[in-house]
Amino acid sequence: MPKSAGSRPATFDPDAAASPGSGIFGLPFTVEESRVVVVPVPCEATTSYRAGTGKGPAAVLAASRQVDLHDRQTGSPYTQGIAMEPIPAPLARRDREARRLALPILAAGGVIKSARQREALARVNRCGEETNAWVHEKTAALLRAGKLPVILGGDHSVAFGSIQACAERHPGLGILHVDAHADLREAYEGFTWSHASIMFNVITQLPAVARLVQVGLRDVGRREEQRIAGSGGRIVAFHDADLALDLAGGKSFAALAAAIVRELPEAVYISWDIDGLDPALCPSTGTPVPGGLSWHQATLLLAALAGSGRRVVGMDLSEVAPSSSGDEWDANVAARLLYKMIGFALLANDTPPVTRRKR
């Protein structure tokens, strides 16, 4: 545990207004002092519908300073140290260039008609590989230091390197994937590292990931459904429509959340696309879909995980896009979700493991 975890500077008042330019959630901790480290990845080169998620990390950082640090469900997670690394300007510049190259390909629906477009596609894919390597290195270093890594996107593709590093350290890893989409499309629109391909890449390239548990799905392609059905149980999908039917039939969401969590192995990575929530909570996200988890359902799911005896070894939150009108609602919700994710993860990791009989 970091040297300052479990304490706070004597001059820090958690109930005071955050000072301008302070750290995430207005906290004074450094990365070295913190148990939890947020790594911003402002990349969105292959965003296929509405852009803006590249600005997500900065927007969430700004909104986080309005979050009250005492949380009724998780206590005071900030006392264990939470810090955010600086937004990496070189990564953002490289992504903007990749986005410029990707736009004509996206406009053509991924149809490549010239050698110039093929070269542009290759360069965008190389950018994705470089981003993966950067995130992998960052995550692996944080894991070695005994910290909980949290990737803050950016589009969902930025999570690959983090999941890879966590799976290498924790073979048999399970992923709790909250999303409106299955993200099981192969090289969507030609882009190997598309945001719509993140879980396809995880399943096909990371054998140490034992199970993918997907929650809130409501826009799923036919081939994605076939991929789920043909996974031999490695992918378990909880479709939003099925959850709604269960709720209408009298089941409690607490019971449904417990059933979802039971599908996960001991070590869990949380991969949360903000559009897994009801779009009333994230109207500016790139691909909003009607339905989704309510705020309280989202926190009940996290609470079920925290109380199950499983460990959270890493997390990401992606697809947060600030409104073009300047409304900070999306970032406001995302900052609070991020704090809940961190708080419940710390509760999970500090709870003695539950002995379970093998099924």
| pLDDT tens profile 130-141 | 999 999 999 999
313, 320 Cβ separation under 8 angstroms: no
Summarize the confidence of residues 102-110 as an average pLDDT.
Answer: 89
Is residue 353 pLDDT above 80, yes or no? no
Domain boundaries, given as residue ranges, for the chain: 24-93+131-350
Identify the band that residue 2 occupies on the pLDDT scale cut at 50, 70 and 90: very low
Are the CB atoms for 261 and 252 separated by under 8 Å? no
pLDDT, residue 10, reads: 60
pLDDT of 51-88, one tens digit each? 899 999 999 999 999 999 999 999 999 999 999 999 99
pLDDT in the model for residue 5: 46
| Statement: residue 4 has pLDDT above 50 | no
Q: Please report which confidence band the pLDDT of residue 6 belongs to, taking 50, 70 and 90 as the band edges.
A: very low
Class of domain 24-93+131-350: alpha beta
d(CA 41, CA 30): 19
For the stretch 125-167, pLDDT in tens is 999 999 999 999 999 999 999 999 999 999 999 999 999 999 9
Comparing CA positions, the residue from 59, 221, 56, 291 lying closest to residue 155 is 56
Q: Where does the pLDDT of residue 292 fall: very low under 50, low under 70, confident under 90, or very high at 90 and above?
A: very high
Q: Which pLDDT score, from 0 to 100, does residue 355 have?
A: 52
Bigger pLDDT: 324 vs 94: 94
pLDDT of residue 146: 97
Q: What is the mean pLDDT of the chain?
A: 93
Return all residues near 202 (Cβ < 8 A) that are at least 6 apart.
160, 163, 175, 209, 212
